[in-house]
Structure 1
């Protein structure tokens, strides 16, 4: 069974489903799946009510911008479709939004108490340590909580190492849906078996950037990169261009109907994007991206500060 999802450009992609991992699966098995698949999609490891509270508080910040449908519950996050969705973008989906109120809400969302408490939740931290077999994990301060309104721009095709090139240590991304997100509602879509693809692209970028300054080589926005540091805005075209040796159509995009409490842990090189929020239920997609290193490792210290507009990362 497949489901059609879209990216910013190109035709719909007949995606398949991410492999689910029950929360009581052994860490040894989770490590095996991370090596094999490039991701571990773990169900229900965070309390649903805690995640939903973060969602509600997020939209309390954004309510004055007019993004929420009048009369709807903040926790639901229903888009006010009298607005132009392209004027209500989130982080990483194009230019900053046009009003100071929207930009300030983006900034303030990263320091809300409920959000910061979720980042410290012992379940989240124990799974990071267990999956990676680390003694102590370090969460980079530059987290990215963001939204995707129905029919707005989604995040293009990329892999995370593009943006964290400083430091030799490997890191782990935890992608946390803040609320339920349908497969065609803006959730992450992963290109199957693509860790090798990401590593090959990064090696090619490294070769071509050898004559650039150190600052330019580390940047995801150098002269060899696409706009916004992404690889493509067309998931169908990118996937077709990176088929495996087996032939046409044998590398699939993978999606899920995410629920509040789920977390996807993924490799720095796995290729992924956000599906376009088709807006069937009017819900605004909210999620956060977290990056963890092992304590004492050679990490990208540029990310040890809170996200701010125009920080160049």
Structure 2
């Protein structure tokens, strides 16, 4: 049973389907990739990144939060097994916002082979990585409104720059659907772009809803999900609606992921995204 923020997804064939990977024949065909991105709103790139680098960073991340009671004592931080009991929020913020987010390890990850060079090739220009980069872990068993990322599209948070900014979502470790990966609302970028042009969508920045099954019914659309493997990434447009599933992993494994944003350097850049992410930055 798949849930998001406690809402149970309708798993009928009209409401749930698989995220479609880019076929190997298209991986080096830029025109085909652009056509797919415009049509589908996302590019699911299997095995895009080196797994060892991702897993090394996963280990670094959880080690950096050892004082916060995030991972279970006596376990390998690379495994990311959730600790029982409450997290020390102050220690979590120190580890995350003082060490991890501004650190060279995170920057190296976000500019690694298969990321910065891929965007430069795909965009055919000098590229810019937004300094504000988000990294999250979710513990199994957390549910209810606010525990998983609600349905939204990225442009509502990026209105001061180009609407052609692209996001890359990177699972830092295997992320089968029960571990709480991203789900995409099929075809949603088409109506979002139309309503953006008409000026009928929510402003200022806001999520659309926590009720994923309700939104699927309202739009007569399917949520697209998959079992992500370490090394996979999804590149998506700023207009496609997406959300996270709840982590229901029975073995206590935490989901760890990061989402980063690249764009052409020559296009307008949202100045608000040029500082490191902090918990009180208001975005």
- TM-score scaled by structure 2? 0.89
Aligned match of 2:91: 101
With over 3 angstroms needed to count, the CA separation of the structure-2 counterparts of 1:117 and 1:106, relative to structure 1, is same
Does residue 1:147 correspond to 2:117, yes or no?
no
Shift of 1:22: 4.9
Q: Unpaired segments of 5 or more residues in structure 2?
A: none
2:259 is the alignment partner of 1:289: yes
1:272-293: CA deviations, max 9, x gaps? 0001111223111111111111
Can you list the C-alpha shifts for 1:102-135, whole angstroms capped at 9, x where unaligned?
1112212212332211111132122223333x21
- The alignment status of 1:124 with 2:115, answered yes or no, reads yes
1:19 is matched with: 20
Cα distance in 1 for residues equivalent to 2:194 and 2:35: 22
Task: Give, in angstroms, the shift of residue 200 of structure 1.
Answer: 4.3
Structure 1: gaps (5+ residues):
89-97, 210-216, 221-228, 244-250
Contact 1:137 1:293 in 2 (8 A): yes
* Contact 1:183 1:256 (8 Å CA) reproduced: yes
The aligned counterpart of 2:7 is 10
CA RMSD after TM alignment = 1.9
Match of 1:193 in 2: 187
Give the 3 Å change call, closer, same or farther, for CA 260–112 of structure 1 in structure 2. Answer: farther
Partner of 2:215: 238
Following superposition, the deviation at residue 161 of structure 1 comes to: 0.5
- Give the corresponding residue for 1:60: 63
- 1:24-62 Cα offsets, whole Å, 9 max, x none, are 622222212111110000011211000001100000111
Aligned partner of 1:258 in structure 2 is 228
Could you list the per-position Cα deviations for residues 160-210 of structure 1 after superposition, in whole angstroms to 9, with x for gaps in the alignment? 001101124411111111111111211100011110232345456x4588x
- Please give the alpha-carbon distance, in whole angstroms, between the structure 2 residues aligned to 1:124 and 1:99: 31
- 1:224 paired residue number: none
Whole-angstrom distance in 1 between the partners of 2:141 and 2:209: 18
TM-score (norm 1): 0.81
> In 2, are the aligned partners of 1:39 and 1:265 still within 8 Å (CA)?
yes
Is structure 2 residue 268 aligned with structure 1 residue 298? yes
Which SS does the other structure have where 2:132 is aligned?
coil
Looking at structure 1, the residues matched to 49 and 24 of structure 2 have their Cα atoms a distance apart, in angstroms, of 10
3-state secondary structure, aligned to 1:291: strand
